[in-house]
Amino acid sequence: MRLLAVLMIIAGLAIGYGAILEVNAYGPAELPFWVGVLAAGAGLFFAAAGVLLLIQRRAARGVVLSAALLMGVVTAVGTFTLVMGPPATLVGALSALAALCWFWRTREGDVRTA
């Protein structure tokens, strides 16, 4: 579980940093700007969910699911609009899949099995 939390923090910060670079490089009239705005929020939320998973395991289950779904959607949007390259797509998709697998593997009352 700690490994997943560290993965979520690193992946969220990496996606968020790349998204902030996109926001700085483009103006509001262009599509990469808006994808960057969306991805920056999703990346920071994903990293925050990782921190919550490190600190409070039981309370983090629903937040991890929400963050994983949001990161998956943002990664798909960024990839299909050709704003995200292959490395960012792999980081976003694999980290979201890892978080979803953790969510499905754990049960509501028994978080210590992960």
CA angle 55, 60, 61 (to 5 degrees): 145
Long-range contacts of 21-30 (CB under 8 A, 24+ apart): 22/83
Give the position of tokens 């923090």.
Answer: 9
In tens, the pLDDT along 31-79 reads: 999 999 999 999 999 999 999 999 987 778 899 999 999 999 999 999 9
Is the predicted pLDDT of residue 29 greater than 80, yes or no?
yes
Q: In whole angstroms, what is the distance from residue 87 CA to residue 42 CA?
A: 17
The full set of domain ranges for the chain reads: 2-113
pTM of the model: 0.90
- Is 40 within 8 Å of 23 (Cβ atoms)? yes
